[in-house]
Amino acid sequence: MKFRNASIIAVVSYIAYTNAAALKGTSCPPVDSKGVQRLVTKNKLMKNLKDLETIANWNGGNRAFNTPGYTASLNYIKSQLDTSKTWKSWTQDLEVPYQKPKVTFVVEGKAYTIGHFQFSMWAGEDDFNVEGEVVEGPPGPASCTPEGYTGLNVTGKIVFVDGANCPGGVWQSPWVHYGDVVAPRLRAAHSAGALAVVVHLNEKYEAGLVGFKQMPDRKDFSPSGYMAYTDGLHLLSLIRRTGRPVLAKFENSWFSGKSLTQNLFSESIGGDPTNVIMIGAHLDSIRNGPGINDNGSGSSLLIALFHALQSYCPKNRIRFAWWGAEELGLYGSNHYVSNLSKQEADDILVYLNFDMIGHGYFGVFDGNSTSKPEDPYSLTSPPGSSVIEKLFVDYLVGSGVPITKEPLVANTDIAGFVELNKAVGGMHSGSIGVDFCYHRKCDDYTNINETHIEIIGKATAHVVSVLSNEGAKIIPKALSHSVNEDGRVIPTKVWDKKPSISEKVDVTVGDVLGI
């Protein structure tokens, strides 16, 4: 009986859907969870990702900020948005500063490829140009402490150290934390009087170094870099075989510039403009690869939802945002938030974020999160966030899907909206430790589990439908506080250490070594 009713409803809503399309928005049904879910399918989600991958392949292998691949990704989505008569779309320009290091390491006339630990807090301040003898450092973990250098005179020399994990260091295969392996070595070599230090990447660190924990202090940061495993073996055999000092020239200089990029938006023309449901994902990739899980997967979900929602007239207005320059430090979303007028800020009811939803676990952002002093990236969830969390959790639990509580962190596009005290939520399926291809070239189409992304897609379809229909009743509205002399809202800093260009971007072996 129940089943029979359900199928009748399904037929009715299908008719409503075709009518709505025919009427081109003159009259159409409110968003219906089941109907939207039906239209968010794995085929559609995967098709968008295939297209984004093709775009990366045609544009030098990535879709990063300030590259043709980003522009092509933006145009690809925009051309789809522009087909709608019931939604309006626009872009927002922003100027983003960036820096690029140029590192050279030449040993007896042979140039070795060196990765720069480019994203320390002091990026840009460490131009150097040194010349000296290259010597082998203490073996293995001994180079993690100053004591390891006992009996070894490295004063004025470039020390080449093994990159094995340090005692107590965390190694989430295949990743190893930068802070755990690199920072102690830089400190130790520096205190032993070395002129410079080059870390020989361990062959086990297939994916490289990542993370921004325990950054070295400026005073510990002597000229430094890392070398790939095979290159390092070559250098070692050279040092060992020549019975005389081996000289190297080690140089680094930074190039700084500014470049324009865009955020892309689309919103329903209909729907209550004073209770806007915002849904965002970042569109840029890192430079090392096509960025299909990170974060093409979130962008794909937004495209699929956009198409699915064309059949409905949202009760509360729905606005999608594809952010630019996230990977450089959340520039796109922060710019958007800080350019809102008081009215525009007040009109936003909630913000949902989707990035890296292609495989791993089913992480739902914690709506009751509190910021912890020991974790500078942790955030306190604004009021209403637990309502959003519950919508996701109830849906997923009801579908028999296991859930992981995902802490609310400042290094996502959510941060700007937390600073407006807006209810936030969304899903995330894990990065380091779950996604072997995180920030690597292999983050391509085949890195996506289509069952996984579909489950998250349908859960989101459901939550967006509920929020579009009842959001104004179930979410407390956060009104903005003060405005500056230009009439723009002043976000309340929840975190004074927001990722900057130097901190946000992970240290990977990628850019330089191309893996």
Nearer to ligand NAG, 306 or 377 (CB): 377
- Token couple for 507: 């240290």
Determine which residue in the list 180, 327, 347, 444 makes contact with ligand NAG, applying CB under 6 A. Answer: 327
Nearer to ligand NAG, 166 or 388 (CB): 388
Q: Give the number of other CB atoms < 10 A from CB of residue 340.
A: 20
Residue 356 beta carbon to ligand NAG: minimum distance, rounded to whole angstroms: 4
**Using the rule CB under 6 A, is 214 a contact of ligand NAG?**
no
Q: Which does 7 bind (CB under 5 to 8 A by kind): Zn ion, ligand NAG, none?
A: none
8 Å CB contact between 196 and 223:
yes
Residue 219 beta carbon to ligand NAG: minimum distance, rounded to whole angstroms: 21
Buried b (16+ CB within 10 A) or exposed e, 2-28: eeeeeeeeeeebeebbeebeeeebeeb
- From the list 29-37, 150-158, 212-220, 224-232, the region that binds ligand NAG by CB under 6 A is 150-158
Q: Give the number of other CB atoms < 10 A from CB of residue 346.
A: 17
Determine which residue in the list 353, 369, 371, 447 makes contact with ligand NAG, applying CB under 6 A. Answer: 353
Q: C-alpha dihedral over 18, 23, 28, 34, to 10 degrees? A: 20
What is the DSSP secondary structure assignment for residue 291, as one 8-state letter?
-
- From the list 27-35, 119-127, 149-157, 253-261, the region that binds ligand NAG by CB under 6 A is 149-157
Instruction: Give the residue among 327, 331, 329 at the shortest CA–CA distance from 286.
Output: 327
Residue 1 beta carbon to ligand NAG: minimum distance, rounded to whole angstroms: 32
- Token couple for 63: 């879709």
Nearer to ligand NAG, 339 or 500 (CB): 339
- Token couple for 464: 């967006």
Instruction: Give the residue among 448, 440, 297 at the shortest CA–CA distance from 360.
Output: 448
Q: Which does 59 bind (CB under 5 to 8 A by kind): ligand NAG, Zn ion, none?
A: none
Strand order in the sheet with 175-177: 171-172, 175-177, 208-210
Q: Which does 209 bind (CB under 5 to 8 A by kind): ligand NAG, Zn ion, none?
A: none
Q: Give the number of other CB atoms < 10 A from CB of residue 319.
A: 21
Determine which residue in the list 19, 75, 150, 155 makes contact with ligand NAG, applying CB under 6 A. Answer: 155
Nearer to Zn ion, 267 or 294 (CB): 294
Residues 432-491 close enough to bind ligand NAG by CB under 6 A:
449, 451-452
- From the list 81-89, 141-149, 176-184, 289-297, the region that binds Zn ion by CB under 5 A is 289-297
Determine which residue in the list 189, 328, 356, 423 makes contact with ligand NAG, applying CB under 6 A. Answer: 356
> Is the peptide bond prior to 174 cis by the omega test (within 30 degrees of 0)?
yes
Q: Which does 92 bind (CB under 5 to 8 A by kind): ligand NAG, Zn ion, none?
A: ligand NAG
How many Å apart are CA 194 and CA 191, to the nearest integer? 7
Nearer to ligand NAG, 218 or 372 (CB): 372
Nearer to Zn ion, 220 or 294 (CB): 294
**Using the rule CB under 5 A, is 294 a contact of Zn ion?**
yes
DSSP letters for 416-478: HHHTTT-EEEEEE---TTT-TTTTSTT-SGGG--HHHHHHHHHHHHHHHHHHHHHHHHHSPPP
Q: Which does 353 bind (CB under 5 to 8 A by kind): Zn ion, ligand NAG, none?
A: ligand NAG
Task: Please report which helix (H) or strand (E) contains residue 33, including its range.
Answer: helix 33-39
Determine which residue in the list 355, 419, 443, 444 makes contact with ligand NAG, applying CB under 6 A. Answer: 355
Q: How many residues line the site for ligand NAG (CB under 6 A)?
A: 22
Q: Which residues are catalytic?
A: 326
**Using the rule CB under 5 A, is 284 a contact of Zn ion?**
no
Q: Are strands 423-428 and 348-354 parallel, antiparallel or unpaired?
A: parallel
8 Å CB contact between 331 and 338:
no
Report the SS3 class of residue 128. strand
How many Å apart are CA 149 and CA 225, to the nearest integer? 19
- Token couple for 55: 């775009």
Q: Which does 37 bind (CB under 5 to 8 A by kind): ligand NAG, Zn ion, none?
A: none
Nearer to ligand NAG, 141 or 211 (CB): 211
Residue 42 beta carbon to ligand NAG: minimum distance, rounded to whole angstroms: 11
Residue appearing with tokens 């992480």: 363
Nearer to Zn ion, 39 or 210 (CB): 210
Nearer to ligand NAG, 431 or 469 (CB): 431
What is the three-state SS of 171-226? EECCEEEHHHHCHHHHHHHHHCCCCEEEEECCCCCCCEEECCCCCCCHHHCCCEEE
Residues 57-96 close enough to bind ligand NAG by CB under 6 A:
92
- Token couple for 282: 């970042």
Buried b (16+ CB within 10 A) or exposed e, 363-382: bbbbbebebeeeeebbbebb
**Using the rule CB under 6 A, is 343 a contact of ligand NAG?**
no
Residues 263-302 close enough to bind ligand NAG by CB under 6 A:
294-295
- From the list 21-29, 53-61, 290-298, 340-348, the region that binds Zn ion by CB under 5 A is 290-298
- From the list 23-31, 291-299, 362-370, 392-400, the region that binds Zn ion by CB under 5 A is 291-299
- From the list 139-147, 294-302, 367-375, 496-504, the region that binds Zn ion by CB under 5 A is 294-302
Q: Which does 266 bind (CB under 5 to 8 A by kind): ligand NAG, Zn ion, none?
A: none
Output the CA–CA distances (angstroms, integers) from residue 328 to 8, 66, 119, 283, in the order listed. Answer: 50, 11, 10, 12
- Provide the H-helix boundaries in 310-341: 331-338
Determine which residue in the list 153, 173, 242, 446 makes contact with ligand NAG, applying CB under 6 A. Answer: 153
Binding site for Zn ion (CB under 5 A): 294
Binding site for ligand NAG (CB under 6 A): 92, 153, 155-156, 294-295, 327, 339, 341, 353, 355-356, 368, 386, 389, 411-412, 428, 431, 449, 451-452
